[in-house]
Amino acid sequence: MSIQQENISKLVERRANAKLGGGEKRIEAQHQKGKMTARERIAMLLDEGSFEEFDMFVQHRCTNFGMDKQHYDGDGVVTGCGTIDGRLVYVFAQDFTVSGGSLSKTMSEKICKVMDMAVRNGAPCIGLNDSGGARIQEGIDSLAGFGEIFERNILASGVVPQISGIFGPCAGGAVYSPALTDFTLMVKNTSYMFLTGPSVVKSVTGEEVSQEDLGGASVHATKSGVAHFAAENEEEGIATIKELLSYIPQNNTEEAPRVPTNDPVSRADDSLNEIIPDNPNKAYDMYRVINSIVDDGKFFEVHKTFARNIIVGFAHMNGRSVGIVANQPNMLAGALDINASRKASRFVRFCDAFNIPLVTLVDVPGFLCGTHQEYGAIISNGAKLLYAYGEATVPKVTVTLRKSYGGAHIVMSCKQLRGDINYAWPSSQIAVMGADGAVGILYSKDIKAVEDPEEQKRIRDEKKKEYEDLFSNPYQAAQKGYIDDVIEPRNTRFRICRALEQLAGKKESVPAKKHDNLPL
C-alpha cells in the first residue's frame, strides 16, 4: 500500500470513528431513552445527501480533571449545512453521547462558525439541542463559549430565521440561546428546559417538583409560552421544523417562497354569512373563519396551546405566505390579556422582520380586567402589541368581524397604526365600549332619578338601542374613513387576496434611529 493510500485509509477510518460520537454503547443508551443521535436527527431534517459537515476533527483543549485523556473527534456537536426542500440551511446538533453534550469552548467555536456563515450567506440557522449544559471541567471557558453564542443569536435576530429544537435536556445558561431565537420546539417526555433543576429548587425553596412538571414540553407550550411547538416525538418535531420553514424566507431581504395552489381567489363561502350569532354575547369558533379564507383550508398554527384567546400562525393566500392574527371568541370571549399580548406581539414582529404580510381578524371586547392582570403589567404588555403593529411596515390587512371596543380596537391593527386596508363585516361593532357599559356611564344619573324600576328599564333599553343604532354597525367608522369598505362575509377571501396583491409592492419605513425602545 502506498503512502497516499495509507493516508486515505486512515482518513476513512477516522471519519467512521468520528461519526460514532461517544461510541456504540452510548448510542444504544440514547436509543433506549427513545431519542435519536445528533447525526440521525440531521439526516432526517435535511434533504438526502445534502449535508456538508464542518469541523469533524475538532477536539477540546481542556487538560483539567483528566480531560486530556478523553478526546473525541467533533467534540460533542455536529455542525454543517445542507438543504431542506432544496433551500440552504445551516445546522448544529449537540451530541449527547459525547460528555453528555456539555458545551466546551471548542464546541462553542464550531457553533459560532455556522451561525456566522448563516448570516453571511443569508440562510436560516437551526439548532438541535441535547446537552447537559456547560462543561464544568472547563470553567470560565465554557461560560465564555455560551456568551459568544448568545451574542450571535442577538446579531442574527431579524437577519436570518433562527429555529431551536429541544430534543433532550437544556438547562442553566443553555436555555438562553433558544430563548433568543425565533421559534422553539420541544418534544414531550424527553426534553426539558429550566434555569435550575428539581434538586436545586428543593434545596432553595423546599418545593418538590419533577423535571417534566418544572420544565417539560407541556409546561412551556401551555403555561410559560417559552415553547412555540410541543411534538409527540422527535419525528414529528423534525417534520414541524420543516413545515415551518416552508412559510418563511431565507433572510430579511427576501420574501417567502410562493406556493402554487388550485384554490380560486374568488372562492366564496356562504357559511360565513351565518357564522356570527345574533346574540352578541354568544361565542363562535374563529378557526372556522381562518380555514375558510386560506388556501386549501391549511393553517399552520404557532403557540397553539398557549394564550388560546388569540390565534397566530401561518397560511398561504393565493400562494403568498401570510401571518394571521385572530381573536378567539371561544376563549375568554376573545379578550386580550397579558399572555395573548405577548404571544401576538412577538409573532407580529417576526412577520414584519421577515417581510411576511399580516392578516388580522378582529373580534375583541377589550382587555381582560382584574388585579391579576393589572399587577402583572397588562398595560406594558398590551403596549407591546400596540407597538408591534404600529412599527410594522409589511402589508397589513385587517377585517373586523364583530366587536372591536376601546383600547383593544386600537391595538388590533387599526387604521391609525398604519393599517393598509381595513375591512369590516356588517355585523361589526366599533366603539369605545359595549352598549350596556356605555349607557351605564352616559345615563346613570337619568336612570337613578327615576324611582319606578319598570321605567328605569324602559329608559335603559331605549338608550341602549340608541347607542346600538349608532355604533353596533361599521358605518360610522366607514363614514370617517377608518374602515375602507364594508364587505360581505362570504367574499372575505377574495377581498383579502386582492388587497394583498395590491400591496405587494408596498414601500414604507420608520424614522432613522439606532434602535427602538419598545415596552419590554
Q: What distance in Å separates the CA atoms of residue 337 and residue 307, rounded to the nearest whole number?
A: 8
Find cell 379578550 and name the residue: 335
Cβ count within 10 A of residue 100: 18
Choose the catalytic residue: 29, 122, 158, 173.
173
Choose the catalytic residue: 22, 145, 172, 323.
172
Choose the catalytic residue: 408, 424, 438, 478.
408
Q: What distance in Å separates the CA atoms of residue 421 and residue 503, rounded to the nearest whole number?
A: 9
DSSP 8-class letter at 222: I
Residue 90: beta bridge partners? 81, 125
Classify the phi-psi angles of 333: left when phi > 0, otherwise alpha if psi is within -120 to 50, otherwise beta.
left
21 assigned to active site:
no
Find cell 393565493 and name the residue: 318
SS3 annotation, 163-187: EEEECCEEEHHHHHHHHHCCEEEEE
Q: What distance in Å separates the CA atoms of residue 89 and residue 113, rounded to the nearest whole number?
A: 14
Sequence-distant (≥ 6) Cβ neighbours of residue 368 within 8 angstroms: 332, 335, 336, 337, 378
Residue 316: beta bridge partners? 321
Choose the catalytic residue: 197, 319, 376, 407.
407
Cβ count within 10 A of residue 134: 22
C-alpha closest to that of 301 among 293, 290, 292, 289? 290
CA atoms within 13 A on the CB side of 207: 12
407 assigned to active site:
yes
DSSP 8-class letter at 224: I
Find cell 476513512 and name the residue: 12
Catalytic residues: 172-173, 407-408
